[in-house]
């Protein structure tokens, strides 16, 4: 297999999908890796680092896409990348197709085998390739929230931990999964008053055990959501319904009832967001205000801490990328049902049910598509 590693071109996206250790692993397995010039620069990885590991550097993305049977990326294809993809090519990356009709149509038209990091499962039902980036985004949500709560950055001028004699800020997190738990860890570590609203009673029990009373858990329903939003200095949206668009849990009306100068960080923006007022922003223009509430809705938060994120991501993705290269897509997904869950598009067919339902498109089971 020729494996192609292009440079990411989404706004301020500095991660890269393979480290030199990954290149070495592909080379050792008998594959060739072609890397676009300066693909790793944003993560502090030089062309020489890749060459030393056995990669060949190519000057343009066009050449990388043209040569490779499998493209490994971080973010979904954007702009000029659409026309570079071709029939039968494997695209292994985050895709987040549920809210992305145009991208889905392109992958289907071009008959690309789109294998999405975020829908690959593990035997315990978790999403192992979403986890590392969720850990980063959850931790970061509190950093950025604390920053925008400062008066000079538009916030209400609240210090997360308070000081002796002044109570800490209220941090309310909707969704107690990986993002929510990591956000809670940092918020609690900084001394904030932290509440997690969660749907699953079992998850709330786990959270209660993890935090030992330091973080409150509350069953999520319209009433508790309203109380939480009204109280929050910093609101974090961290819900997920795997593969589907995020539910709009916080209405425009509820946003208008929040404290003026509060900060709302919608980490779930990559699945469409869980606030009615959410629209995706970028690192170069990350925030906007609705009814006095600062919204931070960057869809690729981990890109801001690219080096940490690149190593965290590739620690988890490499084994699946190797499996695809070593066995070819058909055999790899037939032998590994968890990897099969990652296949969203194949040969012009939409093979992931939740995406099909979100977009009102026809769903074809993967087994049928492979046959």
Residues with active-site annotation: 96, 270
269 binds ligand NAD (CB under 6 A): yes
Radius of gyration of the chain, Cα coordinates, nearest whole angstrom: 21
Spell 312-326 as b/e; 16+ CB within 10 A means b.
bbbebbbebbbbbbe
Nearer to ligand NAD, 64 or 141 (CB): 141
Nearer to ligand NAD, 119 or 364 (CB): 119
CA nearest neighbour of 168 among 261, 237, 232: 232
Site size for ligand NAD (CB under 6 A): 33
Q: Which residue has the tokens 């609690």?
A: 188
Cα pseudo-dihedral 249, 255, 261, 264, rounded to 10: 20
Q: How many residues does the chain have?
A: 371
Q: How far apart are CA 349 and CA 49, in angstroms?
A: 39
CA nearest neighbour of 120 among 313, 329, 342: 342
178 binds ligand NAD (CB under 6 A): yes
Site string for ligand NAD, 84-123 (x = CB under 6 A): ----------------------------------------
Question: Which residue stretch of 51-59, 196-204, 304-312, 322-330 sits at the interface with ligand NAD (rule: CB under 6 A)?
Answer: 196-204
Nearer to ligand NAD, 8 or 36 (CB): 8
Q: How far is the CB of 184 from ligand NAD (least distance, A)?
A: 11
Q: How far is CA 268 from the centre of its chain?
A: 8
Q: How far apart are CA 335 and CA 85, in angstroms?
A: 26
Return the residues of window 244-263 that contact ligand NAD according to CB under 6 A: 246-247, 249
Nearer to ligand NAD, 67 or 283 (CB): 283
Q: Using CB under 6 A, list all residues that contact ligand NAD.
A: 130, 133-134, 137, 174-180, 197-200, 203, 220, 238-241, 246-247, 249, 267-271, 299-302
């Amino acid at each position: 297999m020729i494996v192609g590693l292009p440079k990411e071109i989404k706004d301020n996206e500095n991660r890269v999908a393979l480290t030199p250790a990954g290149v070495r692993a592909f080379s050792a397995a008998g594959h060739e890796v072609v890397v676009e010039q300066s693909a790793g620069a944003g993560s502090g990885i030089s062309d020489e680092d890749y060459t030393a590991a056995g990669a060949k550097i190519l000057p343009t993305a066009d050449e990388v896409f043209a040569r490779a049977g499998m493209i490994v990326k971080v973010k979904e294809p954007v702009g000029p990348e659409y026309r570079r993809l071709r029939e039968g090519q494997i695209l292994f990356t985050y895709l987040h197709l549920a809210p992305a009709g145009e991208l889905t149509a392109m992958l289907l038209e071009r008959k690309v085998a789109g294998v999405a990091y975020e829908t690959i499962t593990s035997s315990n039902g978790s999403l192992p390739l979403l986890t590392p980036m969720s850990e980063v985004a959850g931790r970061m949500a509190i950093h950025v929230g604390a920053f925008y709560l400062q008066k000079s950055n538009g916030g209400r001028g609240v210090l997360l931990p308070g000081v002796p004699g002044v109570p800490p800020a209220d941090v309310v997190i909707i969704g107690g999964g990986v993002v929510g738990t990591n956000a809670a860890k940092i918020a609690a570590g900084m001394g904030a008053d932290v509440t997690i609203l969660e749907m699953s009673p079992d998850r709330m029990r786990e959270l209660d055990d993890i935090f030992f009373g330091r973080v409150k858990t509350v069953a999520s329903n319209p009433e508790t959501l309203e109380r939480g939003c009204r109280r929050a200095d910093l609101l974090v949206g961290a819900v997920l319904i795997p593969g589907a668009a995020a539910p709009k849990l916080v209405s425009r009306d509820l946003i208008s009832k929040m404290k003026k100068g509060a900060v709302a960080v919608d980490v779930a923006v990559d699945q469409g967001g869980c606030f009615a007022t959410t629209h995706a922003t970028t690192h170069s223009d990350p925030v906007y205000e609705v009814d006095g509430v600062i919204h931070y809705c960057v869809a690729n938060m981990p890109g801001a801490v690219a080096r940490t994120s690149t190593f965290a991501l590739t620690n988890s993705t490499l084994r699946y990328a190797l499996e695809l290269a070593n066995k070819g897509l058909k055999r790899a997904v037939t032998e590994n049902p968890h990897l099969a869950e990652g296949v969203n598009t194949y040969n012009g067919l939409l093979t992931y049910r939740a995406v099909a339902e979100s977009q009102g498109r026809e769903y074809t089971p993967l087994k049928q598509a492979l046959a």
